[in-house]
Copies of this chain bind each other. A is one copy, B any other.
Amino acid sequence: MKKNNAKAAAGVKEIARLAQVSIATVDRVIHNREGVSEKTKTKIQAIIDKLGYQPNVLAQRLALATRGTINLAVLLPVISPETEFWQAPRDGITKAESEIKQYGVNIHYFYFDQNDESTFEKQVKKIIRFKPQGILFTPTFPDPAVQLTEHSKKAGIPYVLINTDIPGYDAMCYIGPESFHSGYLAAQLVHYCTARDKKIVIAKIAREISTNYAILRKEEGFRAYFKDRKLENPLLTLDSKDTEYAGVSRKLAKLIKQEQNIGAIFVTNSRVSLVARYLEAAGRTDIILLGYDFTTDNVQHLKADNIDFLICEKPQEQGYRGIMTLFQHLVYSNVIEKNYLMPIDIITRENYLFYRN
């Protein structure tokens, strides 16, 4: 590929010169627009192909500044101490925003309460009324989420799902983990680190477990590993709709008292720090503990050796990439990939320092 040794790559001007037409006409051919005679079109296309013309993205973008504003809607859970996880996607979105703001992209944020489906519904309605040119959201509640995707489809509005997809629904674009595999990986780690006569606890700590698809899929993946490998560790379950420490620790205490020989606890979401806190207090350093997400509390406990593994799927990048996907689609008509599955990262006490979301 050394042939581009020549000065700069040819641009529209050069093409126009060679084809003996104006650059406007070249532009029309490049963008496949109406109103060019077959003859000149063919001539220009031939030159484009021969030159291997690549548009200068910079110039394209700069010229774009003439065009109007692009409005994007983002629908995410409110960020509270309890939902710190969502800070990361939000950061990624903000990062993308700052990069493309200068090309006239505006992002409008809509927030819902993870524990209240009606707030999600309300925001969906608001977004529909707002008529954005693109939507990024996480379908925490499948029914209203489908409403939004269906509406968007009809209205021709591109959308991107992050973090979770909608069960049994074929969305336009999903950017996030493959949750089943994520659980499967967790099981592998437990398997490697636990003797085979030990009991293993699957801890589900969330107010709305039954509707949380990601949590369910992780559990399925986790169980599937043990089944596929014909492992005989008893798999226990701990369910807690109470997400406060007091409630969780009570349940844990009871379970641990009643079951001997627990080797590992797998927490299916970011609430793993609650379990860590309990195990630390109870002095149970013998139990392998793993869970999800690079939150402050979790990292603290990882550092203190109370958590052994954190699994993390680059939440920040999900937000960043989601916005960029919409932007590139709207501005350059880039095709939107159906799925972009994130890496499933394993974080331990010995590599967390170098991790980047």
Contacts and interface: CB of A to CB of B under 8 A. Distances in A.
Interface of A: 4, 8-9, 54, 56-59, 61-62, 65, 101-104, 177-178, 181, 184-185, 188-189, 192-193, 225, 288, 308, 341-346, 348-351, 353-356
A178 B8 CA distance: 39
A-B residue pairs, 4 tightest by C-beta: A185-B350, A346-B346, A344-B351, A192-B193
Contact of A350 (B4, B181, B341): B181
Contacts of A188: 348-350
Contacts of A354: 177-178, 181, 341-344
Contact of A355 (B62, B189, B343): B343
Contacts of A355: 343
A65 B8 CA distance: 9
A102 B52 CA distance: 13
A306 to B, nearest CB: 15
Nearest to A185: B350
A234 to B, nearest CB: 21
A290 to B, nearest CB: 11
A181 B353 contact: yes
| Copies of this protein chain in the complex | 2
Contacts of A342: 354
Contacts of A101: 4, 9
Contacts of A56: 62, 65, 102
Interface hub of A57, A178, A343, A351 (most chain B Cβ within 10 A): A351
Contact of A8 (B104, B185, B344, B356): B104
A225 B350 CA distance: 10
A288 B65 CA distance: 57
Nearest to A347: B346
13 contacts: A8-B65, A8-B104, A9-B102, A56-B62, A57-B102, A58-B102, A181-B354, A185-B351, A192-B192, A192-B288, A342-B354, A343-B354, A343-B356
A308 B185 contact: no
A357 B54 CA distance: 26
A192 B58 CA distance: 50
A185 B62 contact: no
Contact of A58 (B9, B62, B225, B345): B62
A344 B349 CA distance: 12
Interface hub of A61, A185, A308, A346 (most chain B Cβ within 10 A): A346
Contacts of A192: 192-193, 288, 308
A347 to B, nearest CB: 8
Nearest to A178: B354
Interface hub of A188, A288, A343 (most chain B Cβ within 10 A): A343
Contacts of A341: 354
Nearest to A54: B102
A338 to B, nearest CB: 16
Nearest to A183: B350
Given A4-B101, A188-B349, 10 more contacts: A8-B65, A9-B102, A58-B58, A59-B62, A62-B62, A178-B354, A181-B350, A341-B354, A343-B351, A345-B345
Interface hub of A57, A104, A177 (most chain B Cβ within 10 A): A57
Contacts of A351: 181, 185, 343-346
Interface hub of A185, A350, A355 (most chain B Cβ within 10 A): A350
Nearest to A341: B354
